[in-house]
Structure 1
């Protein structure tokens, strides 16, 4: 049954190459040999993107978080699993200096959040910073 499902999901060319194989395990093994290197390259690209992504000051934190979450989801698809705490740490290290107080508060209070919770808190912090900046500009001018 599994062999039929696999053959039904792959292209006609691949079907012809694998139809004579004895089991679904043989088909999967052969497909991994054929395409496994592509997964490794894609995983390396996702890791590089995740590690090198830094938010530019003034960029909406939501856009940055969605980008980071996308890289993390790609890594999960390619088999590179990061625990929730490490994912949050990756995001926190990518934030600009304007979020230093938030990061310090997060660590000092030993908070623990899922990425979606972190996104909500970061958006609240960003909104608060914008309001305070507007008030400060009104006072100064």
Structure 2
């Protein structure tokens, strides 16, 4: 039986290398293919808009001192679900992004999996 996230391509936008490596490991453990990670907004924007197939994205809200919302908007425009990660939880998001799937740092593998599955509309097995 394959896991519900097997083979999913997930963009990672995260500027802290240890967190990015942790996310890559978590994604690989779930059977996903990590894309990136992008460590700044410009790289994240390029990866979000270059036309490559993405199933979802994990977006750190504050990337190298810039907010990730332009990348989030580009993904939203392409219909690609995403999850914000932030030290402040959903309460740290601007009003227009409230209600978006959000995980709070430090996060667990289960939190990442559940948020991704919810964002992608995948049923929990």
Q: TM-score, normalised by structure 1?
A: 0.26
Bigger-Rg structure (1/2): 1
**Larger helix proportion of the pair:** 1
**Larger strand proportion of the pair:** 2
